[in-house]
């Protein structure tokens, strides 16, 4: 086992005081050689430069982003309020997909490596639902409706379909969801800076919030999306490099597959087949039944009902571009997830004595790379952080402005006032998230913190969209009553029972759907004219239910191809693991 490389050792090797090691992996690949042979001696100033090189690189990245954001913000200042909030609807499907990836991939992924360290590679199936189900489902049914209704926020759809009360309640729930995710992202990003640069955790978190908040508040969504395109590429490269180093240290994919190490669920650490643990109170993280019942529901909620994601889809230049971007997102997000999960699996084999699984990702970055390269990789994770923080901040700010302030407080606000209120809302969201950071360490992990909360609310969130889009019979009062009671049910199950969070989420989803349909029978049918463009059966220019084929006739072919490809990959990988 290779011991961690300390900062003192790296300084000694870089200065030529001690001969640095060259470590040989089982597969025969040299993964580290940190000592330049030609250097002799090292003065104090050189040691200082080496010591602070990583800090300088990360700081330079922050400065570059700050400067780019300021330039783009000045250009965006001349744009209309609509462009400030929606991005102008000019992004191609490739650009939109990259902004979606940048929004989805945040420092929480470092915690996901810890999940794989504990349970195994099968946890990848938790996110693979985007390939075989959620991406094409959202592209087929939800994007066409969003596009025709020209909504600015997803809660706006609920008002059009049901009533203002549903919109208000959903807005509050979604704002809380976004703030919870933002808090987790700020915590993990601050933790990374704390470990690498030795800054205090509060200072690290505050610094990230200030840098990101500056261009978010001044530039609006278009500035955020433009920067996210480039940050999306940067973070994908970073994940690939870190994954390569971790796998090399463990001896390569063949060695990982042949290791025979078991995860905490009792399945081989390298297996892609989830355990068939059907117990409602199981402590296993996403066994097979939970993936089928809950990961699919939560996935639809995240892709289609989450305002941050929908906001980016609505910035695409056409309905077809938005649909294509979802399928590309599914592929790119799972490439990123595989890179993250394989890091955790590799570290389980290479460093089984690691005391804090959540630090598996950081362990690779901080001990397996030389000074300088380490700073670049941390900058890459900062790209993930900033692209998530800016997206969550703009989503929350726009949500509060459009669905609370303009709808219930001051509907006749002008452009200047709307921009000012949005900026204040974004600033308030960042302040609240920073204030909540101390709560995260009280949970087992940052991922647990987020997923537990998701189990309480995501099922309720997606239920109303599913019922509203597919049923012409669902009524406003039934939807509101079901929404409120479903949230109460989910929180009660979470607090008073030991049910797995995945089943809490699914039960609240199923209850909300059934209750809405049942209670709607006690009321008159909604006016058919009021439902135009709001359900799959009432689009003016497309016959339901397969409304997504109107803009992109080939969607169904790509949906089948992606699903088939994923199941084929799973089967081939499992055969490879079992023959080692």
Higher-confidence residue of 102 and 275: namely 275
Report the alpha-carbon distance of residue 183 to residue 205 in Å, rounded.
10
Sorting pLDDT into bands at 50, 70 and 90, what band is 489? very high
DSSP 4: P
Report the alpha-carbon distance of residue 436 to residue 438 in Å, rounded.
6
Considering just the CA atoms, what is the radius of gyration of the chain in Å? 24
Report the alpha-carbon distance of residue 129 to residue 301 in Å, rounded.
12
pLDDT at position 557: 96
* pTM (whole model) above 0.85: no
- Cβ within 8 Å of residue 247, ≥6 positions away: 253, 256, 342, 343, 346
Mean pLDDT for the stretch of residues 154-166:
87
Report the alpha-carbon distance of residue 459 to residue 464 in Å, rounded.
9
Chain length of the chain: 580
Counting residues of the chain whose pLDDT is more than 90, the rounded percentage is 29
Q: Is the pLDDT of residue 539 over 50?
A: yes
The DSSP-derived string for 62-108 is: HHHHHHHHHHHHHHHTTS-HHHHHHTTS-B-HHHHHHHHHHHH--TH
All structural domains of the chain, each given as residue ranges with its CATH number in brackets, are 55-439 (1.20.1730.10)
- The whole-chain average pLDDT of the chain stands at 79
Q: Which residues pair with 15 in a beta bridge?
A: none
pLDDT at position 72: 63
Convert 76-113 to b/e letters by CB count within 10 Å (16 or more is b): beebebebbbbbbbebebebbbbbbbbbbbbbbbbbbb
Residue-wise pLDDT for 106-149, tens only, equals 656 677 888 899 899 999 999 999 999 999 999 999 999 988 88
Return the closest-CA partner of residue 246 out of 180, 171, 345, 178.
345
Sorting pLDDT into bands at 50, 70 and 90, what band is 88? low
- Cβ within 8 Å of residue 322, ≥6 positions away: 93, 96, 139, 143, 146, 147, 313, 314, 316
How many C-alpha atoms does 232 have within 13 Å on its Cβ side?
23
Residue-wise pLDDT for 311-350, tens only, equals 788 888 899 999 999 999 999 989 988 999 999 999 998 8
The DSSP-derived string for 332-369 is: HHHHHHHHHHHHHHHHHHH-TT-S-GGGHHHHHHHHSS
Range scoring the smallest mean pLDDT among 35-44, 176-185, 278-287, 397-406 = 35-44
Sorting pLDDT into bands at 50, 70 and 90, what band is 80? very low
Reading the block at residue 254, the tokens are 């063949």
Range scoring the smallest mean pLDDT among 342-351, 431-440, 529-538 = 431-440
Residue reference for tokens 């989830």: 274
Report the alpha-carbon distance of residue 233 to residue 412 in Å, rounded.
40
């Amino acid at each position: 086992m290779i011991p961690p490389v300390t900062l003192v050792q790296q300084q000694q090797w870089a200065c030529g005081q001690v001969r640095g090691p060259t470590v040989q992996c089982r597969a025969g690949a040299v993964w580290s050689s940190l000592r330049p042979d030609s250097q002799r001696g090292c003065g104090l100033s050189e040691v200082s430069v080496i010591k602070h090189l990583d800090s300088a690189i990360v700081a330079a990245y922050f400065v570059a982003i700050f400067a780019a954001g300021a330039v783009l913000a000045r250009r965006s200042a001349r744009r209309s309020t609509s462009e400030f909030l929606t991005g102008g609807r000019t992004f191609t499907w490739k650009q939109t997909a990259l902004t979606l990836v940048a929004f989805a991939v945040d420092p929480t992924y470092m915690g996901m490596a810890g999940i794989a360290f504990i349970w195994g590679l099968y946890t990848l199936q938790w996110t693979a639902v985007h390939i075989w189900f959620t991406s094409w489902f959202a592209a087929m049914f939800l994007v066409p409706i969003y596009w025709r209704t020209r909504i600015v926020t997803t809660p706006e759809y609920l008002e059009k379909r049901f009533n203002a009360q549903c919109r208000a309640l959903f807005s509050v729930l979604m704002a809380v969801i976004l703030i919870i995710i933002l808090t987790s992202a700020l915590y993990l990003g601050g933790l990374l800076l704390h470990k690498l640069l030795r800054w205090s955790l509060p200072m690290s978190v505050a610094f990230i919030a200030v840098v990101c908040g500056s261009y978010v508040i001044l530039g609006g969504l278009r500035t955020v999306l433009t920067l996210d395109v480039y940050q999306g590429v940067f973070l994908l490269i970073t994940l690939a490099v870190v994954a390569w180093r971790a796998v090399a240290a463990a001896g390569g994919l063949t060695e990982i597959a042949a290791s025979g190490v078991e995860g905490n669920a009792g399945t081989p650490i390298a297996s892609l087949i989830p355990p068939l643990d059907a117990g409602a109170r199981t402590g296993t993280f996403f066994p097979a039944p939970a993936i089928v019942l809950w990961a699919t529901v939560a996935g639809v909620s995240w892709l289609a009902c989450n305002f941050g994601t929908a906001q980016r889809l609505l910035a695409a230049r056409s309905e077809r571009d938005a649909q294509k971007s979802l399928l590309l997102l599914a592929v790119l997000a799972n490439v990123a997830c595989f890179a993250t999960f394989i890091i955790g699996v590799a570290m389980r084999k290479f460093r089984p004595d690691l005391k804090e699984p959540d630090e598996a990702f950081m362990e690779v970055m901080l001990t397996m790379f030389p000074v300088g390269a380490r700073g670049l990789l941390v900058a890459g994770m900062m790209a993930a952080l900033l692209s998530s923080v800016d997206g969550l901040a703009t989503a929350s700010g726009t949500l509060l402005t459009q669905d609370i302030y303009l709808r219930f407080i001051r509907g006749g606000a002008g452009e200047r006032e709307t921009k000012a209120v949005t900026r204040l809302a974004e600033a308030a969201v960042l302040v609240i998230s920073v204030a909540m950071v101390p709560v995260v360490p009280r949970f087992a992990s940052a991922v647990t913190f987020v997923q537990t909360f998701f189990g309480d609310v995501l099922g309720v969130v997606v239920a109303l969209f599913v019922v509203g889009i597919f049923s012409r019979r669902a009524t406003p009062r039934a939807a509101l009553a079901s929404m409120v009671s479903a949230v109460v049910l989910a929180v009660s199950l979470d607090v008073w029972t030991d049910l797995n969070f995945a089943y809490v989420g699914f039960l609240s989803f199923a209850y909300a759907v059934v209750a809405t349909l049942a209670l709607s029978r006690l009321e008159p049918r909604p006016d058919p004219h009021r439902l135009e463009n709001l359900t799959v059966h009432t689009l003016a220019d497309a016959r339901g239910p397969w409304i997504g084929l109107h803009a992109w006739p080939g969607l169904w072919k790509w949906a089948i191809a992606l699903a088939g490809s994923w199941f084929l990959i799973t089967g081939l990988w499992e055969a490879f693991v079992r023959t080692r």
